[in-house]
Amino acid sequence: MGYFKIIDKGEGPTRLFVGGVHGKEGATTIKALSQIHESDVQTGKLLIYNCERSPYISTLDERYYNSEIGKEVLFIINHHKPSVYVEPHCYKPESYKKLVAKDRKQRVGVPPLIELEDGVLIGSVSPFIRTTHFKREDICITLEMPCSPPKKSLNVYVNVLKAIARSNNRAELENHLRVRYPQQVKTARRYAREFFGDYPPF
Ligand SMILES: [Zn+2]
């Protein structure tokens, strides 16, 4: 693991952020994760990992979780048993269209990512782990921004990470996000219902 930080404010939820889970994304995600400080967490724990470079396998590809890095990510999740799990990723500009495509579910089996602003996208994590390693009520989020992000995108991304870091539960997080992104929170709930049935969003 390239980078690890633990912020422990006692009683409260365990949150886990794992960046750079494949390829060289870690070189980008560290720019955001390194901006999360002690003062961003009020209660509970926040564990931050940022992985070193590894072969690129999509987390939607079953082989990912059998790869060395995939197993490492699963180990971290199983070890900490977070109720809030966030995977910061980054994408190449040419991938934007397929990440947000309305027919993404038909093509790759997961709902489209939702744009918050400035190319920052939010969605759930791989179904391979969402339904097997987490409880229904847990919060699981994939966050995407362009690799080599413009400053505006990086700021939005960091602010969302900080909103998650200071939320204790889903209601608090939705309230934080709804202030700026009311439509996106609604869409996230709808996609989650369509995908997971009565599963909670994210
Ligand atoms: Zn990725």
pLDDT single digits (tens) 16-38: 999 999 999 999 999 999 999 99
Domain 3-196: state its class.
alpha beta
Going by pLDDT thresholds of 50, 70 and 90, the confidence category of residue 109 is confident
Query: How many angstroms separate the alpha carbon of residue 10 from the centre of ligand 1?
Result: 31
Q: Looking at residues 128-141, what average pLDDT do you find?
A: 92
pLDDT given for residue 131 in this prediction: 86
Query: How many angstroms separate the alpha carbon of residue 28 from the centre of ligand 1?
Result: 11
Query: How many angstroms separate the alpha carbon of residue 2 from the centre of ligand 1?
Result: 17
**Which parts of 10-129 are beta strand (E)?**
14-19, 44-50, 84-91, 114-117, 120-123
Query: How many angstroms separate the alpha carbon of residue 158 from the centre of ligand 1?
Result: 17
For residue 39, give every residue at least 6 positions away whose Cβ sits within 8 Å of its Cβ, in sequence order, or none: none
Dist CA 96 CA 73 (whole Å): 25
Query: How many angstroms separate the alpha carbon of residue 166 from the centre of ligand 1?
Result: 24
What dihedral angle (degrees, nearest 10) is formed by the CA atoms of 50, 20, 113, 147? 110
pLDDT given for residue 18 in this prediction: 98
Of 189, 158, 159, residue with least CA distance to 174: 189
Tens of pLDDT along 142-183?
999 999 999 999 999 999 999 999 999 999 999 999 999 999
pLDDT given for residue 195 in this prediction: 72
CB 201 within 8 Å of CB 184: no
Query: How many angstroms separate the alpha carbon of residue 31 from the centre of ligand 1?
Result: 15
pLDDT given for residue 158 in this prediction: 98
For residue 198, give every residue at least 6 positions away whose Cβ sits within 8 Å of its Cβ, in sequence order, or none: none
List, in sequence order, the alpha helices (H) in 25-132. Answer: 26-33, 68-80, 96-100, 104-108, 127-130
Query: How many angstroms separate the alpha carbon of residue 16 from the centre of ligand 1?
Result: 17
The secondary structure element, H or E, covering residue 7 is: strand 3-9
Please count the CA atoms within 13 angstroms of the CA of 178 that sit on its side-chain side. Answer: 9
Q: Looking at residues 87-96, what average pLDDT do you find?
A: 97
Query: How many angstroms separate the alpha carbon of residue 21 from the centre of ligand 1?
Result: 7
pLDDT given for residue 200 in this prediction: 55
Least confident of 102-106, 166-170, 188-192: 188-192
Query: How many angstroms separate the alpha carbon of residue 43 from the centre of ligand 1?
Result: 29
Going by pLDDT thresholds of 50, 70 and 90, the confidence category of residue 201 is low
Query: How many angstroms separate the alpha carbon of residue 92 from the centre of ligand 1?
Result: 10
Query: How many angstroms separate the alpha carbon of residue 88 from the centre of ligand 1?
Result: 8
CB 44 within 8 Å of CB 13: yes
pLDDT given for residue 10 in this prediction: 97
Query: How many angstroms separate the alpha carbon of residue 22 from the centre of ligand 1?
Result: 6
What is the value of pTM for the model shown? 0.95
Query: How many angstroms separate the alpha carbon of residue 11 from the centre of ligand 1?
Result: 32
Query: How many angstroms separate the alpha carbon of residue 107 from the centre of ligand 1?
Result: 17
